[in-house]
C-alpha cells in the first residue's frame, strides 16, 4: 500500500534492528485519513469472505480494525489486555506474550460477542512473532468460529510470525512488509523481490 509505505519511510523511527516506532500516525497520534484508507484496503482484500466480525487487540489495533469493520458493515471486537471489573464471567481467555512489553498478558473477550457461526477477520497493527495473532485465533476457535484471515498493517517479515501463521493454515495479508531494520534503515520486502 503506497500511501502507508510513504508514511513509514518519512515518519517511521527505527528504534533497533527489531523495533519500528510509528507513533506519529498509528501507535500514539493517529492519522484518520490513513486509517480510512487502511480500512478500505483490508475490506477490498477480504471482500467475498462473508466476514461477520472483525477482531483485534487493544490498543493500537483498534483504529485499523474499526475502519475495516465500518467498510465491511460488521461489528468490531477488541480483546482486552487487562481484566475489566464488568467482564467477570463467560469470558474467553488466552495467554499472549507481548513483544513490546516483554510480559505475558491474559487477553479476554466476552463469550456473548462470538458464536460458532461467526467468520472472523483478525486485524493488528504489527506482526512480529505472531503471538498476538495466534492468541486472537485461539479465542475465535474456542467457540468453534472460523478465522477467515489475518490482516496486518506492518509486517516485519524478518521475524517468524507471518511464516508461522501461514504454516498453521491462516491467510495473512499485510499492507506493508518490512524486510529489515538493520543500520537504522527501513527496507521493504518488495524492494528485494
Ligand atoms: P507479535 O505478537 O506478532 O510478536 O507482535 C505484535 C504485537 O507487538 C503488535 O500488537 C504490536 O503492538 C507489537 N509490536 C511488535 N513489533 C512492533 C514494532 O516494531 N513496533 C511497534 N510499535 N509495535 C510492535
pTM (two decimals) = 0.97
Q: Residue 64 and residue 38: Cα distance in Å, rounded?
A: 6
Contact 187, 158 (CB under 8 A): no
- Rounded to 5°, the CA angle 122-124-126 comes to 140
Is the ipTM, as predicted for this complex, more than 0.90?
yes
C-alpha cell at 140: 475465535
- Taking the centre of ligand 1 as the mean of its atom positions, its distance from the CA of residue 155, in whole angstroms, is 9
| 3-class DSSP state of 92 | strand
Whether ligand 1 lies within 6 angstroms of the CB of 161 is answered as yes
Spell out the domain ranges in the chain: 2-82+98-191
Cell of 75: 461489528
**How many angstroms does the Cα of residue 111 sit away from the middle of ligand 1?**
26
Give the DSSP H or E segment for 76. Answer: strand 76-79
The reply to whether ligand 1 has any atom less than 6 angstroms from the CB of 128 is yes
- CATH class held by domain 2-82+98-191: alpha beta
Instruction: List pLDDT tens digits, range 48-101.
Output: 999 999 999 999 999 999 999 999 999 999 999 987 666 667 999 999 999 888
Amino acid at each position: 500500500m503506497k500511501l502507508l509505505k510513504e508514511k513509514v519511510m518519512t515518519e517511521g523511527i527505527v528504534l533497533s534492528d527489531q523495533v519500528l516506532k510509528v507513533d506519529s500516525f498509528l501507535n500514539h497520534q493517529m492519522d484518520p485519513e490513513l486509517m480510512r484508507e487502511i480500512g478500505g484496503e483490508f475490506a477490498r482484500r477480504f471482500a467475498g469472505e462473508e466476514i461477520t466480525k472483525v477482531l483485534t487487540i487493544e490498543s493500537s489495533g483498534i483504529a485499523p480494525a474499526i475502519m475495516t469493520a465500518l467498510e465491511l458493515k460488521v461489528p468490531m471486537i477488541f480483546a482486552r489486555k487487562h481484566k475489566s471489573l464488568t467482564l467477570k464471567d463467560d469470558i474467553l481467555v488466552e495467554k499472549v506474550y507481548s513483544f513490546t512489553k516483554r510480559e505475558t498478558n491474559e487477553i479476554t473477550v466476552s463469550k456473548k460477542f462470538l458464536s460458532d457461526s461467526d467468520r472472523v477477520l483478525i486485524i493488528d497493527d504489527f506482526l512480529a512473532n505472531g503471538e498476538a495473532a495466534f492468541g486472537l485465533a485461539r479465542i475465535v476457535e474456542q467457540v468453534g468460529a472460523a478465522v477467515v484471515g489475518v490482516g496486518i498493517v506492518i509486517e516485519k517479515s524478518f521475524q517468524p510470525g507471518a511464516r508461522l501463521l501461514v504454516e498453521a493454515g491462516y491467510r495473512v495479508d499485510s499492507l506493508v512488509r518490512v524486510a529489515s531494520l538493520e543500520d537504522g534503515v527501513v527496507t521493504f520486502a518488495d524492494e528485494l523481490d
